[in-house]
């Protein structure tokens, strides 16, 4: 799709500097964009690409306007501007409604006439698929499931019995919702499986990345509130509750019965122990291990960034003696 800079500026509420009739067809990086493409500058590490960019226009802050050699759209948050331009130029493709001849639909399932059901989809009994839902190839939808209006299951998504998906959800390939949680009890050295009798309730406008797993509740439900965004390969244990508009990056693991508040941001590969509570507006940086509840908003971190191996070995050698050194310092302070 093609839009003029004037149309784009109005759409993202930006201040236009340049030709309002300039046509934009695509988005590109500052380094590689060409004529007819728009780019953006939101990170100062890429400022050196601005003066030589071949883009037709750049979304940027006012402080960078004098260095911009092409048309510019000025706003306080260029990254948000880029996000809205991307949504404008690359809208979701509307699939044709209908049920593919190779789909397997139970006779008691309710499929809205505007829904798209792709090939090799399996839909179980008493399941309800709402208007404009897209279910891509290979998805397995169990019994007693609800999928809300305008939601999209891209491909090979598995929804186990009793799961509820809200409106406008996006579930990427390989997502598994409602598999059994890790519920086991030790019986004289042997592990006894505990039936997982809860389900998973997912709110509206939730996006779940590829190969992410969200376990069903052991008792009660696992709950993902409205607006939550979850990246690829995330593991969410049974009875976890994630508050509205929280964002979780890739490879995060959240153990069972933990409650995470609203508007939190959890960095990649963070690990969160079970039965904890994390309040609203907490930022957990990548690779952080959370072993205790977080009761105050703020930024939390742990873990050691990469360093040269020879320095790492010296630091580890020192770390082994840390307790002894601490004890000696305490004794000296007492004296």
Active site (catalytic) residues:
238
Six-digit token string for 182: 């890790």
d(CA 280, CA 261): 4
- Angle, CA 114 vertex, CA 108 and CA 120 arms, to 5°: 60
Mapping DSSP onto H, E and C, the string for the chain reads CCEEHHHHHHHHCCEEECCCCCEECEECCCCCCCCCEEEECCCHHHHHHCCCCCCCEEEECHHHHHHCCCEEEECCCHHHHHHHHHHHHCCCCCCCCEECCCCEECCCCEECCCCEECCCCEECCCCEECCCCEECCCCEECCCCEECCCCEECCCCEECCCCEECCCCEECCCCEEEECCCCEEEECCEEEECCCCCCEEECCCCEECCCCEEECCCCCCEEECCCCEECCCCEECCCCEECCCCEECCCCEECCCCEECCCCEECCCCEECCCCEECCCEEECCCCEECCCECCCEEECCCCCCCCHHHHHHHHHHHHCHHHHHHHHHHHHHC
d(CA 48, CA 196): 55
């Amino acid at each position: 799709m093609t839009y003029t800079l004037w149309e784009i500026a109005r759409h993202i509420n930006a201040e236009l500097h340049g030709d309002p009739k300039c046509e934009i067809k695509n988005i590109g990086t500052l380094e590689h964009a060409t004529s007819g493409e728009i780019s953006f500058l939101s990170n100062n590490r890429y400022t050196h690409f601005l003066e030589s960019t071949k883009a037709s226009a750049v979304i940027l802050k006012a402080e960078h306007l004098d260095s911009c050699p092409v048309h510019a759209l000025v706003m306080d948050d260029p990254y948000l501007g880029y996000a809205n331009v991307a949504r404008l130029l690359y809208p979701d493709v509307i699939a044709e409604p209908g049920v593919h001849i190779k789909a397997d639909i139970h006779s008691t399932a309710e499929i809205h006439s505007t829904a798209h059901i792709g090939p090799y989809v399996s839909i179980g009994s008493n399941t309800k698929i709402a208007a404009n839902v897209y279910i891509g190839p290979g998805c397995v939808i169990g019994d007693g499931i609800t999928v809300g209006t305008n939601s999209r299951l891209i491909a090979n998504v598995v929804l186990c019995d009793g799961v509820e998906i809200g409106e406008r959800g996006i579930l990427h390939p390989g997502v598994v919702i409602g598999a059994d949680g890790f519920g086991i009890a030790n019986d004289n050295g042997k592990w006894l499986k505990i039936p997982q009798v809860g389900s998973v309730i997912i709110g509206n406008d939730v996006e779940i990345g590829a190969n992410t797993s969200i376990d069903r509740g052991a008792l009660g439900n696992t709950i993902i509130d409205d607006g939550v965004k979850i990246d690829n390969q995330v593991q969410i244990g049974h009875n976890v509750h994630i508050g509205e508009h929280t964002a979780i990056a890739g490879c995060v693991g959240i153990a069972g019965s933990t409650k995470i508040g609203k508007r939190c941001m959890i960095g990649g590969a963070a690990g969160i122990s079970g039965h904890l509570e994390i309040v609203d507006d907490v930022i957990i940086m990548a690779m952080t291990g959370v072993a205790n509840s977080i009761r105050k908003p703020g930024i939390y971190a742990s873990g050691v960034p990469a360093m040269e191996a020879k320095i790492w070995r010296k630091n580890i050698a020192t770390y082994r003696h840390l307790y002894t050194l601490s004890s000696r310092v305490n004794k000296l302070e007492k004296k």
